[in-house]
């Protein structure tokens, strides 16, 4: 049994297939497994809590894990050790989530492209057809992650409290979420995964896209992301497309295309959930 995992900070999708790529189990979903944020104990607890994973762990031969927080060596090795201890008979590979987005969005394996992730977090890399190039090291949700779910959650909360929302939008926002200051501070400062908590607010934008305020907010984040991340690859952008993966990108396609037109880069493919594209990639040589 081969397990392919696509993990963000909010959730992890697991798919079990055989060597032909045929699915063996119903898709499994656990909480996010970001080793840059979670402790070893918490990572183990999340995986072992799933009964299907626990029941089948002895028959797993390969685990191909792609996740947020796996872009630097220390958290990557931490997660690899946890997975190896649980899936004792398996070959384990842990890679950053950007690589999953690359494999899932390319038109063909040797295509060169700039590939972006806009989900709970955000990232951007250049793939030259063989090697992934990262020009900005991520410093996490507090300092970076422009145009991500947690970025937009933070902006929405700020606009609510600073009275920058139109009154009708503010009423709708306040009726959907608990906006008590103590509740927000508790979740942001005292609970694990504050980035995932903040990202939960982002859905509101896509349910209220009839508001000029919301459209402008989405575009503002995308412009910031494009300026800080996509434009790191100015030379490459002259000849290659920019592909996008993640739920924020998927639902903001219209706004991304508008900003791309403004800033002069070519938009390629959108993939909401990269995991399906990874199955063929990992089973073709087994």
pLDDT tier for residue 161 given thresholds of 50, 70 and 90: very high
Burial of residue 11 (number of CB atoms within 10 Å: 0-12, 13-18, 19+): middle
Torsion angle in degrees (nearest 10) through CA of 209, 210, 212, 217: -10
Host H or E run for residue 54? helix 51-56
Closest CA to 69 of 110, 117, 29, 21: 117
Residues 181, 135 contacting (CB under 8 angstroms): no
User: Mean pLDDT, the chain, as a whole number?
Assistant: 93
**Averaged over 241-245, what is the pLDDT?**
96
Residue 179: pLDDT above 70? Answer: yes
Q: Give me the pLDDT at residue 285, please.
A: 60
**Averaged over 79-87, what is the pLDDT?**
97
Q: Give me the pLDDT at residue 86, please.
A: 97
Q: Is the pTM of this model over 0.85?
A: no
What is the C-alpha to C-alpha distance for residues 32 and 48, in angstroms, rounded to an integer? 13
pLDDT tens-place string over residues 180-191: 999 999 999 999
Host H or E run for residue 126? strand 122-127
Q: How do the domains of the chain map onto residue ranges?
A: 2-100+274-283
What CATH number does domain 2-100+274-283 carry, 3.40.30.10, 3.30.420.40, 2.60.40.1180, 1.20.1050.10?
A: 3.30.420.40
pLDDT tier for residue 99 given thresholds of 50, 70 and 90: confident
pLDDT tens-place string over residues 217-234: 999 999 999 999 999 999
pLDDT tens-place string over residues 253-284: 999 999 999 999 999 999 988 887 788 777 76
Q: Give me the pLDDT at residue 140, please.
A: 81
pLDDT tens-place string over residues 8-55: 888 899 999 998 889 999 889 999 999 998 999 999 999 999 999 999
Backbone angles phi, psi at 153, to 5 degrees: -60, -45
**Averaged over 123-129, what is the pLDDT?**
94
């Amino acid at each position: 049994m081969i397990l392919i995992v696509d993990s963000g900070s909010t959730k992890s999708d697991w798919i079990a297939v055989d060597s032909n790529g045929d699915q063996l189990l119903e898709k499994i979903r656990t909480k996010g497994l970001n080793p840059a944020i979670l402790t070893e104990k918490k990572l183990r607890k999340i995986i072992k809590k799933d009964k299907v994973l626990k029941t089948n762990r002895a028959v797993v031969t390969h685990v191909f894990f792609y996740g947020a927080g796996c872009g630097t060596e220390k958290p990557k090795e931490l997660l690899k050790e946890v997975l190896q201890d649980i899936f004792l008979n398996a070959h384990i590979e842990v890679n950053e989530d950007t690589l999953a987005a690359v494999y899932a969005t390319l038109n063909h394996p040797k295509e060169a492209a700039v590939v972006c992730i806009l989900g709970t977090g955000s990232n951007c890399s250049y793939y030259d057809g063989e090697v992934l190039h990262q020009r900005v090291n991520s410093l996490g949700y507090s300092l970076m992650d422009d145009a991500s779910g947690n970025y937009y959650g933070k902006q929405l909360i700020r606009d609510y409290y600073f009275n920058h929302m139109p009154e009708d939008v503010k009423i709708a926002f306040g009726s959907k979420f608990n906006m008590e200051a103590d509740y927000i501070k508790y979740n942001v400062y005292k609970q694990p995964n504050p980035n995932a908590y903040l990202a939960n607010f982002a859905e509101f934008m896509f349910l209220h896209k009839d508001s000029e305020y919301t459209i402008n907010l989405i575009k503002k984040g995308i412009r910031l992301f494009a300026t800080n991340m996509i434009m790191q690859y100015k030379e490459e952008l002259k000849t290659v497309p920019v592909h996008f993966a993640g739920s924020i990108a998927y639902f903001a396609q219209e706004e991304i295309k508008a900003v791309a037109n403004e800033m002069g880069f070519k938009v390629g493919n959108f993939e909401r959930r990269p995991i399906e594209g990874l199955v063929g990639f990992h089973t073709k040589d087994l």
